[in-house]
């Protein structure tokens, strides 16, 4: 593990691949008898070394976490005791509540209650289920009626919102994917019109989902404007800040998140920009009673104790690991100030990246980064099909292995996309990423 | 951590409580600056030590896991590299697929595909969502219509089935909670009648859920009989074996699970009877196309690579930690044979417990254990309200701390319930559990 930690401190010349022996063992049948623990752990470490790890400073393709040793100690401690956070857990519940309060305090949310979930999908789904029960009281018992409820978000919202609509029985057709402005933020007037239209047609608005840090470009929807619209009509406003919400803690980005103190619920994945490994998603909800209405057990149930509330009464999952411990340790060991510096570093890296791309006529930024995500493409003279060229370039970069970047599509144009959330990424790494893209792009042009 | 491991080897005289200093720190605001890592880790360890840990051999209240050091190493390794199993992950996906195959092989399921989820709730929900899309094609897009679909299970099914119906928009009223026989197993004839009634009324049967190891008593529904009924009508049969399914690997209990090779889907929580910490739930599904229909992204999406399938196309979650690694290490280091011995140990402990209760006229078994769960109560002469007495006894046992047992209700009678899934639990521990119940019961009588 120590070797792994030190290897994360710098980019690697190549991605590792598995040898035939190990591949053969990974195709084998269930071992009847046990084997040498050292051999098994060595195989596991080699498999991990040949996997796509976001902990490496130049893995920019996915919004992954940083790989903080403190957090891994937290995961190992949590695994050792294996406390169940769904039921009465004594001291563990106190620590989990403090971590939830700290997270809310960090981003400026006056949290009433919340919980830790396995990821943005489950956090977003939980918020939408709470909103569904508030908009359609009793639907938990009697079911939903197709097309009777609608969700509202920009066309740039994460797929997990569509999936949540599918899962909740509302159907993907119930999601109104609204227009975006030139900065790729949801247009408040479009939301007003959609709400009016649906209300006139007898459709029940279940929730508006604002994205605070879209997956594609990191755009932050205008939360304060959406709060005003939603408060006027008593429509639930959920902020999907899985990736971007931690940036609300930095003075430079805080203004983008104005209004976050008045939303009904918000999602934040600590396993993205707060440096802890998956999974550690935080759901913050203002009104505990709505969560209770959506998830509470009205009948007496095995797990209940008369004298203590049960987390399973306001969370979707039953048995739950102690996901909060690693985030608690990070707050205790590193402090809020260090986290702010690390988040600012990501924003600064994106700005540096942008200035390097702007300075090179063979490249083009497709979007000015609002947070720490960059979308750019290689536009060398003489290349007719820039989409095909940039897809080839993305594959060449992944095969090269020094930098890990993914292809994406922005307004039907193929591009390269990178996201800076790893505090290990240095300005030199940023320069290397641009240099690798330039070098391989020229070879392919 | 070493101190924790060795403390798991024996019962403790008392449960730990937190001192006022630490309680004060757990009420404190977000630390702006970091602190000494050793202090933070020590506080974390003390919080965990004062929490309800299923790793202790006499924690019998919840179906928790055993606390295998091998598995904790797996969790720490997975956290270090933090690979995302939702997207292209290279070698990690190969290891995850092998672990899924091994799990299926272990219990005798001819697995076509499957995945690792955060727990029984998400595994059961995923299976029900797949069944929903098969029974109501297109409902994923256009939503469900209330009351148009039904789910079938015994009255002893886990609450997660009810919650899955609520989440999926079918509503809890759509769940037909069918009668049980004297062994607390679903009555196949009752299922036949319910299906006929619903079909006659135009209600669409979405899925039958058989429980293999109910939470209350560990009863295993008659899977083979249910397979016959479901195959005849092409109704999806899901087995919720979150707790009990690993017992299918032991020669002594395998006959209870006859038919498991022909079910549409099955849930198994490795973090219960396979000794790994939460969370590590396995969903096994016969027909990959149905999972794909329920969860596949038909539109082109950022995460996709043309040349590789994406786990997110057949699982509910997006970003996913590598939950399989710890189970893989347990299979490699300890082997299937050792796991079978450990599972058999739980079954034997329940039998020993039953014989001790049977031999003591002051106790009464309320159910003959089919697997490793015991439901019993203290029935001393002269106590008029046995329900109140046994609830008091449960609280006294939890306060005493030597054994952790929970109260439960079986046929409206309050009882004590324990579940043996921890391979660290010895026959001496079993005797101590009975002795503690006797000692405290006599004090209260």
pLDDT, one tens digit per residue, over B253-273 is 999 999 999 999 999 999 999
pLDDT at A109: 85
B169 and A CB contact within 8 Å: yes
**Average pLDDT estimate for B272-296:** 94
- pLDDT of B385 > 90? The answer is yes
pLDDT at B309: 62
B275 and A CB contact within 8 Å: no
Q: Domains in chain A, ordered, with CATH? A: 2-51 (no CATH), 72-330 (3.40.640.10)
| Contact map slice: A 224-263 vs B, CB within 8 A | none
Q: Would you say B266 and B239 are in contact if contact means Cβ atoms under 8 Å apart?
A: yes
| Contact map slice: A 50-89 vs B, CB within 8 A | 50-55, 62, 64-65, 67, 70-84, 87-89
pLDDT at B300: 47
Max mean pLDDT among B286-290, B363-367, B399-403 falls in B363-367
Residue B299 or residue B342, greater confidence: B342
- Residue A302: pLDDT band with limits 50, 70, 90: very low
CB contact under 8 A, B75 and A74: no
Q: How far is B214 from chain A (nearest CA, A)?
A: 12
3-state DSSP assignment of residue A345: helix
Which residues of chain A neighbour B337 with C-beta distances below 8 Å?
32-34
> To the nearest whole number, what is the mean pLDDT of chain B?
92
pLDDT, one tens digit per residue, over A24-42 is 999 999 999 999 999 999 9
- Measured N-to-C along each axis, helices A159-167 and A120-135 cross at an angle, to the nearest 10 degrees, of 50
- pLDDT of B216 > 90? The answer is yes
- pLDDT of B329 > 80? The answer is yes
CB contact under 8 A, B71 and A94: no
CB contact under 8 A, B167 and A125: yes
**Average pLDDT estimate for B202-218:** 97
pLDDT at B62: 78
Alpha-carbon A303 to chain mean position? 31
pLDDT, one tens digit per residue, over B46-62 is 999 999 887 777 788 77
A174 and B CB contact within 8 Å: yes
> To the nearest whole number, what is the mean pLDDT of chain A?
92
CB-nearest partner of B174 from A143, A168, A215: A143
Q: How far is A278 from chain B (nearest CA, A)?
A: 5
pLDDT at A413: 96
CA angle B73, B312, A218 (to 5 degrees): 95
pLDDT, one tens digit per residue, over A163-205 is 999 999 999 999 999 999 999 999 999 999 999 999 999 999 9
Cross-strand pairs, B374: B418
B335 and A CB contact within 8 Å: yes
**Average pLDDT estimate for B378-400:** 95
**Average pLDDT estimate for A232-240:** 98
- pLDDT of B301 > 50? The answer is no
Q: How far is B15 from chain A (nearest CA, A)?
A: 10
Alpha-carbon B101 to chain mean position? 19
pLDDT, one tens digit per residue, over A36-75 is 999 999 999 999 999 988 777 778 877 888 778 899 999 9
Record the tokens describing residue A152, joined without a space.
């509202």
Which residues of chain B neighbour A143 with C-beta distances below 8 Å?
144-147, 169-171, 173-174
Which residues of chain A neighbour B174 with C-beta distances below 8 Å?
143
A90 and B CB contact within 8 Å: yes
CB contact under 8 A, A31 and B332: yes
**Average pLDDT estimate for B318-347:** 97
Q: pLDDT above 70 covers what percent of chain A?
A: 95
Task: Please report the ipTM that was assigned to this predicted complex.
Answer: 0.95
**Average pLDDT estimate for B327-343:** 97
pLDDT, one tens digit per residue, over B104-146 is 999 998 777 889 999 999 999 999 999 999 999 999 999 998 6
pLDDT at B353: 98
The DSSP element (H or E) to which A373 belongs, if any, is strand A373-378
- pLDDT of A305 > 50? The answer is no
Give the chain B residue nearest A215 (alpha carbons).
Answer: B302
| Contact map slice: B 140-159 vs A, CB within 8 A | 140-147, 158-159
**Average pLDDT estimate for A213-221:** 97
- pLDDT of B299 > 60? The answer is no
**Average pLDDT estimate for B26-35:** 96
Cβ atoms within 10 A of the Cβ of A288, count? 15
Taking the CA atoms of residue B387, residue A313, residue B27 and residue A305 in that order, the dihedral angle to the nearest 10 degrees is 0
H/E/C letters for each residue in chain B?
Answer: CHHHHHHCCCCCCCCCCCCHHHHHHCCCCCCCCCCCHHHHHHHHHHHHHCECCCCCCCECCCCCCCCCHHHHHHHHHHHHHCCCCCCCCEHHHHHHHHHHHHHHHHHCCCCCEEEEECCHHHHHHHHHHHHHHHHCCCHHHHCCECCCEEEEEECCCCHHHHHHHHHCCCCHHHEEEECECCCCCECHHHHHHHHHHHHHCCCEEEEEEEEECCCCCCCECCHHHHHHHHHHHCCEEEEECCCCHHHHHCCCCHHHHCCHHHCCEEEEEHHHHCCCCCCCEEEEECCHHHHHHHHCCCCCCCCCECCECCHHHCCCCCCCCCCHHHHHHHHHHHHHHHHHHHHHHHHHHHHHHHHHHHCCCCEEECCCCCCCEEEEEECCCCCCCHHHHHHHHHHHHHHHCCCECEEEEECCEEEEEEECCCCCCCHHHHHHHHHHHHHHHHHHC
B121 and A CB contact within 8 Å: yes
pLDDT at A299: 52
CB-nearest partner of B26 from A89, A94, A316: A94
Nearest Cα to Cα of residue A235 among A134, A336, A385, A120: A134
Q: How far is A88 from chain B (nearest CA, A)?
A: 8
pLDDT, one tens digit per residue, over A73-84 is 999 999 999 999
- pLDDT of A249 > 70? The answer is yes
pLDDT, one tens digit per residue, over A333-377 is 999 999 999 999 999 999 999 999 999 999 999 999 999 999 999
- pLDDT of A11 > 70? The answer is no
């Amino acid at each position: 593990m120590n070797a792994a930690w030190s290897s994360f401190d710098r980019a690697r010349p190549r991605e590792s691949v598995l040898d035939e022996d190990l591949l053969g063992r990974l195709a084998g049948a269930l071992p009847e008898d046990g084997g040498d623990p050292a051999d098994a752990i060595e195989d596991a470490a080699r498999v991990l070394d040949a996997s796509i790890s976001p902990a490496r400073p130049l893995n920019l393709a996915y919004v992954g976490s940083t790989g903080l040793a403190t957090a891994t100690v937290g995961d190992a401690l949590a695994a050792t005791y294996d406390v169940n956070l769904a039921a009465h857990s004594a001291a563990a519940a106190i620590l989990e509540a403090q971590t939830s309060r700290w997270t809310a305090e960090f981003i400026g949310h006056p949290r009433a209650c919340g919980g830790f979930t396995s990821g943005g999908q489950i956090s977003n789904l939980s918020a939408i289920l709470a909103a569904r029960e508030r908009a359609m009281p009793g639907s938990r018992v009697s079911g939903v009626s197709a097309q009777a409820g609608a969700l509202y978000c920009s066309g740039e919202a994460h797929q997990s919102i569509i999936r949540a609509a599918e899962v909740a029985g509302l159907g993907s057709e119930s999601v109104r994917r609204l227009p975006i402005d030139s900065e790729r933020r949801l247009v408040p007037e479009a939301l007003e019109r959609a709400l009016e239209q649906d209300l006139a047609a007898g459709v029940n608005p279940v929730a508006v989902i604002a994205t605070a840090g879209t997956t594609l470009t990191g755009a932050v929807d205008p939360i304060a404007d959406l709060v005003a619209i939603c408060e006027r009509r008593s429509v639930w406003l959920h902020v999907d800040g899985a990736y971007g919400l931690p940036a609300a803690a930095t003075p430079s980005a805080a203004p983008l998140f104005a209004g976050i103190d008045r939303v009904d619920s918000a999602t934040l994945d600590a396993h993205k920009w707060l440096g802890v490994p998956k999974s550690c998603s935080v759901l913050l909800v203002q009104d505990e009673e709505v969560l209770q209405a959506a998830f509470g057990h009205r009948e007496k149930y095995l797990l209940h104790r008369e004298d203590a509330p049960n987390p399973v009464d306001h969370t979707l999952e039953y048995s739950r690991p102690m996901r909060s411990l690693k985030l608690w340790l990070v707050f205790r060991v590193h402090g809020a100030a260090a986290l702010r510096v690390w988040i600012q570093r990501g924003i600064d890296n994106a700005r540096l990246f942008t200035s390097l791309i702007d300075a090179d006529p063979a490249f083009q930024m497709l979007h000015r980064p609002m947070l720490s995500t960059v979308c750019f493409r290689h536009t060398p003279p003489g290349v007719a099909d820039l989409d095909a060229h940039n897809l080839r370039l993305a594959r060449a970069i992944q095969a090269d292995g020094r930098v890990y970047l993914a292809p994406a599509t922005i307004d039907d144009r193929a591009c390269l996309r990178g996201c800076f959330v790893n505090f290990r990424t240095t300005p030199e790494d940023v320069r290397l990423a641009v240099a690798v893209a330039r070098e391989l792009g020229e070879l392919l042009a």
